[in-house]
């Protein structure tokens, strides 16, 4: 379980094909003394398992299976790609963002980036099947970042990004037309599923 509050931005240092999936080495400022093999880390919103530590490069490795690659932006990544990182929430820890599973629902496309004063409004087009899990003033996770929805128009979602989040995540490097990972609100998804069974 995660919160969507990004700890640091890492950089993919290498990618190699591995039995239909990919193995990535990610360098970051995360303290390796507090990470161990088998830990879960959200990498731009994707819950991935640490498979090894590489102290000499201050990095760790993770694997992404075909299902993950198909549902996320991982297939577009290459060495040098910057990714948002968050370690799993410790039981009893403070929940500063919202409940995030790290199970990405799909990808959204950036349609507009608008700066006004200290705020940035990021607009994305989302798959229609995700709309039941999204609500105005509700939470959404974009590339692992917990954000508040300010408006929904058709399949377009507008979120407000504060200056700290904009400058301390990969959101500031987004371009119009780019695809990003999206995870709908966990509670809303379960409610929508239950109602669909009636």
72-81 residue pLDDT tens? 999 999 999 9
Within-domain flag for 113: yes
Within-domain flag for 153: yes
Taking 80 as the threshold, does the pLDDT of residue 122 lie above it? yes
Nearest to 64 by CA among 31, 33, 25: 25
Does 77 share its domain with 120?
A: no
Backbone torsions φ then ψ of 65, nearest 5 degrees: -85, 165
DSSP-derived secondary structure letter, 192? H
d(CA 10, CA 150) in angstroms, rounded, equals 28
Q: What is the mean pLDDT of residues 125-133?
A: 91
Does 131 share its domain with 76?
A: no
Within-domain flag for 173: yes
d(CA 79, CA 13) in angstroms, rounded, equals 5
Taking 90 as the threshold, does the pLDDT of residue 117 lie above it? no
Q: What is the mean pLDDT of residues 49-65?
A: 96
Name, in order, each residue with C-beta under 8 angstroms of 42's C-beta and a sequence gap of 6 or more: 2, 48, 84, 85, 86, 87, 88, 100, 102, 144
Q: What is the mean pLDDT of residues 38-58?
A: 96
Does 128 share its domain with 82?
A: no
Rounded to whole angstroms, what are the CA distances from 111 to 33, 142, 176? Answer: 40, 14, 5
Within-domain flag for 18: yes
DSSP-derived secondary structure letter, 33? G
Does 183 share its domain with 121?
A: yes
Global pTM? 0.92
Q: What is the mean pLDDT of residues 84-93?
A: 85
Taking 80 as the threshold, does the pLDDT of residue 192 lie above it? no
pLDDT band at residue 110 under the 50/70/90 scheme:
very high
Does 157 share its domain with 80?
A: no
d(CA 115, CA 66) in angstroms, rounded, equals 37
Backbone torsions φ then ψ of 167, nearest 5 degrees: -90, -15
Domain boundary among 57, 87, 117: 87
Which CATH number goes with the domain that contains 27?
Answer: 2.40.30.20
Q: What is the mean pLDDT of residues 111-120?
A: 92
d(CA 180, CA 3) in angstroms, rounded, equals 18
pLDDT of residue 22: 95
Q: What is the mean pLDDT of residues 142-168?
A: 96
Which domain, by its residues, includes 135? 106-196
Partners of 100 in beta bridges: 2
Does 129 share its domain with 161?
A: yes
Within-domain flag for 100: no
Name, in order, each residue with C-beta under 8 angstroms of 91's C-beta and a sequence gap of 6 or more: none
Least confident of 7-11, 108-112, 182-186: 182-186
pLDDT of residue 149: 96
Compare 92 and 50 and report the one with higher pLDDT.
50
Nearest to 136 by CA among 125, 120, 147: 147
Taking 90 as the threshold, does the pLDDT of residue 159 lie above it? yes
Taking 90 as the threshold, does the pLDDT of residue 90 lie above it? no
d(CA 182, CA 4) in angstroms, rounded, equals 11
Q: How many domains are contained in the chain?
A: 2
């Amino acid at each position: 379980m995660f919160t969507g509050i990004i700890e640091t931005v890492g950089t993919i240092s290498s990618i190699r094909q591995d039995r239909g999936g990919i193995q990535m080495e990610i360098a970051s400022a995360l303290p390796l003394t507090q990470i161990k093999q088998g830990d879960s880390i959200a990498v731009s919103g994707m819950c991935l398992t640490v498979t090894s530590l590489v102290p000499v490069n201050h990095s760790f490795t993770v694997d992404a299976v075909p299902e993950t690659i198909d549902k996320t932006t991982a297939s577009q990544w290459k060495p040098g790609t910057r990714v948002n990182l968050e370690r799993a929430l410790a039981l009893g820890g403070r929940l500063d963002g919202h409940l995030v599973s790290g199970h990405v629902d799909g990808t959204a496309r950036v349609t507009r980036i608008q700066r006004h004063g200290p705020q940035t409004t990021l607009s994305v087009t989302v798959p229609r099947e995700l709309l039941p899990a999204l609500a105005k003033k509700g939470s959404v996770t974009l590339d692992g970042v917990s954000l508040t929805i300010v408006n929904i128009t058709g399949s377009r979602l507008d979120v407000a990004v504060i200056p700290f989040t904009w400058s301390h995540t990969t959101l500031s490097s987004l371009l119009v037309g780019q695809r990003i990972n999206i995870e709908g609100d966990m509670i809303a998804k379960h409610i929508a599923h239950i109602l669909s069974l009636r």
